[in-house]
Structure 1
Amino acid sequence: MYLVAVCSCPVGIAHTYMAAANLKKAAQKKGIEIKVETQGAQGVEDEITEEDLKRCDACIIASDVKIKNSSRFKDIPTMSFKVNEPIKDADAVIDELVEALG
């Protein structure tokens, strides 16, 4: 399974990167490949490419603000969360998405 994710918070500093790190760690534990784009104070980092979109199974949006270029996910199963949810329990976020995919 290959997931993509976008993390962003209003300030774009701590929570954005904590959520991204936790999602990466939780996915790795589960044997799931993930690419996490951050949209923060530094701008867009680790941007999800067209190739990523073609091969991904689903997308996680962990954000308290409107993310940039969200229309690129219109044809991809996507689940949205508040940015603090993967900070508190990234395993539950990934489990919920995987379960929804069936």
Structure 2
Amino acid sequence: MKIVGVAACTVGIAHTYIAQEKLENAGKKAGHEIHIETQGTIGTENELSQEQIDAADIVIIAADVKIAGKERFEGKRMIEVTTEIAVKSPNKLIAKAAEVIEQK
């Protein structure tokens, strides 16, 4: 499964990057290809390419604030959660993404 996503917290520092790391580790551990863009205080990092978005099976938005560029994901299956869920339960979130894809 190919997963893309965005992580962004209210302060744009700690939880943004922790959520990114936890999701990427959980995704790779489960055998998926995963790329998470961060939108923090220093701007957008690891920006997703349109090619990555087009190839993705699902989008995970782990954010506590409105993210920039959400329209890029229009027409894609999407899961939206808080950064807290991504940080505390990344394996469950990745498993839920796999379930959503299997329900096609």
Question: What band does the TM-score fall into relative to the shorter chain?
Answer: over 0.9
Counterpart CA distance in 2 for 1:53 and 1:26 is 19
Counterpart CA distance in 1 for 2:39 and 2:87 is 16
Q: How does 1:71-82 map to 2 (within 5 A)?
A: 71-82=71-82
- Name the residue aligned to 1:27: 27
- Name the residue aligned to 1:100: 100
Q: How many pairs does the alignment contain?
A: 102
CA RMSD of aligned residues (A): 0.7
- Name the residue aligned to 2:56: 56
Instruction: Please list every run of 5 or more consecutive structure 2 residues that lacks an aligned counterpart in the other structure.
Output: none
Q: Aligned residues: percent identity?
A: 38
How far off is 1:89 after superposition? 1.1
Instruction: Please list every run of 5 or more consecutive structure 1 residues that lacks an aligned counterpart in the other structure.
Output: none
Q: Following TM superposition, where does structure 1 have runs of at least 4 consecutive aligned residues deviating by more than 4 angstroms?
A: none
SS at match of 1:53: helix
Counterpart CA distance in 2 for 1:44 and 1:21 is 15
